[in-house]
Structure 1
């Protein structure tokens, strides 16, 4: 996996993690070390355990067995509500019901709530950062647009801004490109790259089962199948034809071009020339 981590820059240390529910192993023997500034992808077929692992690494679920340290705090020995204040999360199924504006949705990231807190007033620096993030993600012109009038792609970028408003040390993204068309997906991935470039010390974990949804800034990957790790480590060593075929139990060819990834069922002479390298 990664090189030996120094205690000062280790963000997550998981050892022999099992999650068992109703006699079924959702995760089995997962060990991973994630350091500051790394950007991980959790990849695998449906039901592989990706969201379960993300919940454990985000302090939203305790393992049945094993040890998990997050930002220097051990699950089971720390206040998870306090710990989560240092963790940002993007959930495409954001359960907002109020007619907040895009800027107001971003500002809820300061309180960690779905809606605005009654009688709460954002500080000037929070207002300034919200506007900076909206500008960075290409949403300045829609800051006053109501949530229900935003496109799915615009909502995704607003939620990304919300998640990073409080400058969390750890950012979790659970299939953030779900339901997006090509244009919206590319805008979201570009926005994520911009966020990562603006905060190089931050760490992120992104869940997906589509390689096309990986930003160019992805540094590491963990492949899951039936709750077990198939492989993990530097992205270029993990996203190979052999390992991805094993993970999805289907023969695929992995392609890479200008930092982006794709999987095809078989070498296609019309497709391969468009890619700089083949995995």
Structure 2
């Protein structure tokens, strides 16, 4: 990677979003959003369904252009660089990965190098690349499943496989779109533990995780943005942005937010019913 490529050393900010609006079919889905993400920061995008979380994540992943405002990803402004080139430097984890073939876990992870769903014909990974795939598979707790076929994996194992796949190109930015979707409690906890381990193994990696369940946030989450109806209610370090009052405003319901050993939980405050 040269200093002029996305993700080069001239990019001190991983993401820079300034006064972004996004309009689709006449609807304002994002309204005046600004966000800056730096190396080593781990952000959560929180909000109810329809708040604009996934729409914002698509802009951060160079999958769409803003209607107004600017988005810089790895030092490059959208609209001034080939989006296909930029996407190869961003790890994007989508639990709806459209794989249909019975690939082995290792083969799925290696497709992260070719940015493809299926292995590219006549492309063969090097020994070094296979070794890196195995390292990431082990980091995600799947070392005993590297030869397992995709249809035999649990939902949680698939999710962790896709995280390893997204890390294969050594991105500076990891985007996770509701990675715990469909997981039971055990699967969720395994995923969250492994996401926390990534911070230790890759200290310069920045991440943005979309969810509407605070229980899914890793303890290593450093920052959060709360979205409601396409607008930002709060943004910044978790100590300032994840409070009972702000989270309650975000979800339009009074809540009590607690944190124990780095993990969050939310309880709805009971309202009195007059008889």
User: 1:106/1:259 Cα in 2 relative to 1: closer, same or farther (>3 Å)?
Assistant: same
Q: In the TM superposition, what is the alpha-carbon distance from 1:118 to its structure 2 partner?
A: 0.6
Superposed CA deviations along residues 85-131 of structure 1, whole A, max 9, x for unmatched, are 11001110110011100110001011110010011100111100111
Q: In the TM superposition, what is the alpha-carbon distance from 1:8 to its structure 2 partner?
A: 4.6
Matched, 1:260 2:263: yes
Consecutive aligned runs of 4 or more in structure 1 exceeding 6 Å deviation: none
Q: Which residue of 244, 248, 252 maps to 1:245?
A: 248
| TM-score (norm: length of structure 1) | 0.92
Matched, 1:52 2:58: no
Where do 5+ consecutive residues of structure 1 fail to align?
Answer: 1-6, 268-279
Aligned to 2:14: 11
Aligned to 1:70: 73
Superposed CA deviations along residues 219-239 of structure 1, whole A, max 9, x for unmatched, are 000000000000000011111
Superposed CA deviations along residues 136-181 of structure 1, whole A, max 9, x for unmatched, are 2221111111000001111011111001111101100000000000
Aligned to 2:37: 34
Q: Distance in 2 between matches of 1:261 and 1:37?
A: 20
Equivalent residue of 1:129, what SS? helix
Q: Distance in 1 between matches of 2:199 and 2:128?
A: 20
Aligned to 2:141: 138
Matched, 1:166 2:176: no
Where do 5+ consecutive residues of structure 2 fail to align?
Answer: 1-9, 271-275
Equivalent residue of 2:186, what SS? helix
User: 1:192/1:227 Cα in 2 relative to 1: closer, same or farther (>3 Å)?
Assistant: same
Q: Distance in 2 between matches of 1:171 and 1:131?
A: 19
Matched, 1:229 2:232: yes
Matched, 1:185 2:188: yes
Aligned to 1:97: 100
Q: In the TM superposition, what is the alpha-carbon distance from 1:266 to its structure 2 partner?
A: 2.5
